[in-house]
Structures are given as structure tokens and as C-alpha cells.
């Protein structure tokens, strides 16, 4: 297939592009490198050093003899996006090109507005470009399990059957997003659903859980193909943070009680899920929703797993609790369905089998690059004017 990967230089987009290329598909990637610029804004860097996209693509071609075409630009620029769609004429578009951090969206008004504009308008441009230039193209859109929130009932895959006042219907599952970022993804889902209905677009919304790991079969081929490992408090995940903290023997910092429960999946399962969605496209006019995760853990359970793994490696690991900077239930019911991708053939990797090799060992290998100042929370959901200064500016002010 001809598959266009939007956000192809990012954490999910890069290994997805390699995986789909390795499986014999013709791949092109689009990116404007804004994710790399956010590292500079925040005074952060990925734990694993990553090469420029041109280097990555050149080395991939040298190793595999497979060429991935690249288009550098912003999907907010509709003329640029239209040119890519006309030139590459994709059969599927995989859409990762969004601001993906809840904390980033909660820094202040500017970051909230940017997140919503970037994500919602970018996705609208993609929808209009598909309608205008590739109306039979299948949109594979990355959503998030965070759209659902934490309701006190089981979370279905996208839709729920409702009986009310003697009548029955199947309706989109209620959304209770927890940040301006998650709200932007809800708006995306509504826009995609609407365009499927009025234009006959085919789309799959992948409500993804928290992704972990840096290694896929393809990124392991050469150190120049390595993926990101974000551990800072804005773009890093709790699991990544715990692994880095264990590697430098810093207390594992749990926000609140640690009962916050979410779905998780290995990056190797992410790329496989995308492949399965592309191989089994939605029907014309169908808005299909898959819950894309393989296991559920609480934050406390993650910390305990890292604690055990660290001790086995001879690390001095302790657990600490901090006041939760987020507005969220710290103890809640959580049971989400996730059967549709398994029915298509997904065979999951389990965290218990990959925690040390895919996370802790990599954190230990690169622990000289760890900046402990990035580990503690500075973005508070209750404060609309968070400290936007870089860690360097904060240190100068403290002096």
C-alpha cells in the first residue's frame, strides 16, 4: 500500500514508518519538527540521542534498500498538505501529527490555545484534503483512551447501547477528557465522525493507551535509528520517569495515592496495531473505533514493578508520594474493553516481559544524560499561569 505517515519523525510515527516500510509498503512521512523545538522550549532532551530525520532515512535506505519519501512542512498549511496528497496519492493516511502532551496543554492560555488550534485545525485540514484529493483513502487517526476519562462503568470500544424511556440506540460512548489536550482529541473524534457521515470518508479512530518502550525490530537495527525516550514531567510518562529515577537512584515520585489506572501497550504493539488497521480498512462512511492497549495498571503498580526490577539489578530504589498536580480521581473504577485489535490478529507484548530490557536497561545505559531537574512537576492543572521558564532560567533566578 501507499501509506502517508503524518508526524513521521515523532515517537510513534518514526517506528511506525519503519515497520510499514519493512513490511513492503510504499511510505512517505510528513513532519515540521516542532516536537524537537519543544525540547528546546522546555530545556529538555530525549534520554536517547536521536539523529536528524535526513540521517535516519538515509541509514534506513542503506541498511534495507527501502526508500521512505519525506515532506517537510506543517499540515496547518493546507496548500502544503494538498500538494503532498496530490503528489503521493496515499491509500491510507496515518495521523500522528498532533501536540500529544496533557501537561503541555495545561501550562497556560497560550499552550492551551496552541494545542487546540494545532490538533483540531490540522485534523480538519487532513479531512478536507482526503475529501478533495483521495476520497477513497482510509484515515487511521490516533486518538487516546483519555477521551473517555474514568467513568464508573465499563468503557466500551467507541459506542454504547443505551435504553432510555422505552427506546434504544447505539451512541458514541460519553467523553470526559481531563485536559485541554484530551479535549482536542474529543473534538477530532467528533469532526472525523461527522465527515464520515456527510462525505463517506472511511476512518479508524485508535484510542491508544500509554505507550512504553523504545525498541522495535526496525529501530534495533542501528543505533542511528533509535527512538525517543522522554522522561521529563511534560512529555515523559510516569513509567519512563520511574525507570529513569531508578537508574539514577532517585526516589520514584508517585502523584498522589497512585491509584490512577490506565491502559498500556508496548511500542511494538503500536506499530502492529497501525498495520492491522491499514490492512483491514473501514468501510466507506464508517467511523470505526478501536481501544488500542493491551494491559491495565495503576501508577502505584507501575512503581512497584520498577522498584522490584531495580532491586534485582542492584539499584537502591525507594518510592515517594507527591501532591498530585493534576485534577483527577486518584482512586477510581477502570475497566476498558479492548478486543477488536486482538480479533484482527494482535499478539501483545507484556510489560512484565520487557520492562528491564526495553526500559530500565536503556535508562541505565544513558543515565549520564539524565537531568534530575526535569523529573519534578512544575505544571499544575489548578494554575492557569504556570512557570514557563526553562530549567536554565529557573536556576539563574534561584541564584
What is the C-alpha separation between 188 and 206, in angstroms, rounded? 12
Q: Give the CA distances from residue 95 to residues 92, 321, 392, in Å, rounded to whole numbers and listed in that order.
A: 10, 36, 34
Who contacts 33 (Cβ-Cβ below 8 Å, separation ≥6)?
9, 53, 72
Question: Closest by alpha carbon to 10, among 271, 291, 318?
Answer: 271
DSSP label of 373:
G
Which helix or strand (DSSP H or E) is residue 162 part of? strand 159-164
Q: Do the bridges between strand 167-172 and strand 159-164 make them parallel or antiparallel, or are there none, so unpaired? A: antiparallel
CA distance 305 to 358: 14
The active-site residue, picked from 181, 231, 255, 334, is 181
Phi, psi torsion values for 6, nearest 5 degrees:
-85, 130
Which of these, 25, 60, 36, 62, lies nearest to 271 by C-alpha position? 25
Placement of cell 457521515 in the chain: 197
Strand, coil or helix: what is 63? helix
Rounded to whole angstroms, the Cα distance separating 256 from 87 reads 50
Out of 148, 185, 219, 294, which one is annotated catalytic?
Answer: 185
Distance spanning both ends of the chain, measured CA to CA: 57
Beta bridge partners of 92: 3, 138
Helix (H) or strand (E) holding 55, with range, is helix 53-64
Does residue 397 contact residue 391 with C-beta atoms inside 8 Å? Answer: no
Distance CA 270, CA 19 (A): 10
The residue behind cell 475497566 is 335
DSSP 253-283: EEETTS--EEEEEEHHHHHHHHHHHHHSPPP
Q: How far apart are CA 63 and CA 117, in angstroms?
A: 39
Residue 181 annotated in active site? yes
Among residues 46, 48, 144, 270, the one annotated as catalytic is: 144
Cα–Cα distance for residue pair 281/43, rounded to 1 Å: 41
144 carries an active-site annotation: yes
Cell of 254: 508517585
Instruction: Cite the active site residues.
Output: 144, 181, 185
Amino acid at each position: 500500500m501507499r501509506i502517508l505517515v503524518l508526524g513521521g519523525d515523532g515517537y510513534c510515527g518514526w517506528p511506525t514508518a519503519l515497520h510499514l516500510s519493512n513490511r513492503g509498503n510504499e511510505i512517505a512521512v510528513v513532519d515540521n519538527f516542532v516536537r524537537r523545538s519543544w525540547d528546546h522550549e522546555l530545556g529538555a532532551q530525549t534520554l536517547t540521542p536521536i539523529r536528524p530525520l535526513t540521517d535516519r532515512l538515509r541509514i534506513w535506505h542503506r541498511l534495507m534498500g527501502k526508500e521512505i519519501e519525506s515532506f517537510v512542512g506543517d499540515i496547518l498549511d493546507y496548500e502544503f498538505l494538498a500538494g503532498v496528497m496530490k503528489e503521493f496519492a496515499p491509500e491510507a493516511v496515518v495521523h500522528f501529527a498532533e501536540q500529544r502532551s496533557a501537561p503541555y496543554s495545561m501550562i497556560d492560555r497560550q499552550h492551551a490555545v496552541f494545542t487546540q488550534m494545532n490538533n483540531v485545525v490540522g485534523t480538519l485540514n487532513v479531512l478536507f484534503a482526503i475529501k478533495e484529493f483521495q476520497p477513497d483513502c482510509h484515515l487511521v487517526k490516533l486518538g487516546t483512551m483519555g477521551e473517555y476519562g474514568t467513568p464508573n462503568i465499563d468503557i466500551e470500544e467507541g459506542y454504547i447501547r443505551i435504553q432510555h424511556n422505552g427506546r434504544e440506540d447505539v451512541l458514541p460512548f460519553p467523553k470526559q477528557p481531563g485536559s485541554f489536550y484530551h479535549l482536542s482529541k474529543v473534538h477530532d473524534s467528533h469532526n472525523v465522525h461527522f465527515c464520515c457521515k456527510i462525505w463517506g470518508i472511511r476512518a479508524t479512530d485508535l484510542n491508544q493507551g500509554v505507550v512504553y518502550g523504545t525498541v522495535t525490530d526496525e529501530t534495533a537495527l542501528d543505533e542511528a535509528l533509535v527512538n525517543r525516550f522522554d522522561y521529563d514531567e511534560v512529555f515523559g510518562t510516569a513509567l519512563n520517569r520511574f525507570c529513569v529515577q531508578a537508574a539514577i537512584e532517585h526516589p520514584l515520585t508517585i502523584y498522589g495515592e497512585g491509584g490512577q489506572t490506565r491502559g498500556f501497550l508496548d511500542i511494538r504493539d503500536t506499530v502492529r496495531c497501525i498495520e492491522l488497521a491499514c490492512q483491514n480498512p473501514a468501510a466507506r462512511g464508517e467511523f470505526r473505533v478501536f481501544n488500542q492497549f493491551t494491559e491495565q495498571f495503576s501508577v502505584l503498580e507501575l512503581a512497584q514493578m520498577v522498584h522490584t526490577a531495580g532491586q534485582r539489578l542492584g539499584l537502591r530504589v525507594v518510592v515517594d508520594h507527591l501532591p498530585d498536580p493534576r485534577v483527577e480521581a486518584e482512586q477510581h473504577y477502570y475497566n476498558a474493553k479492548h478486543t477488536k485489535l486482538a480479533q484482527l490478529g494482535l499478539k501483545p507484548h507484556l510489560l512484565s516481559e520487557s520492562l528491564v530490557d526495553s526500559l530500565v536497561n536503556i535508562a541505565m545505559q544513558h543515565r549520564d544524560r539524565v537531568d534530575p531537574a526535569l523529573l519534578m512537576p512544575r505544571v499544575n492543572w489548578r494554575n492557569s499561569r504556570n512557570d514557563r521558564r526553562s530549567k536554565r532560567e529557573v536556576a539563574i533566578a534561584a541564584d
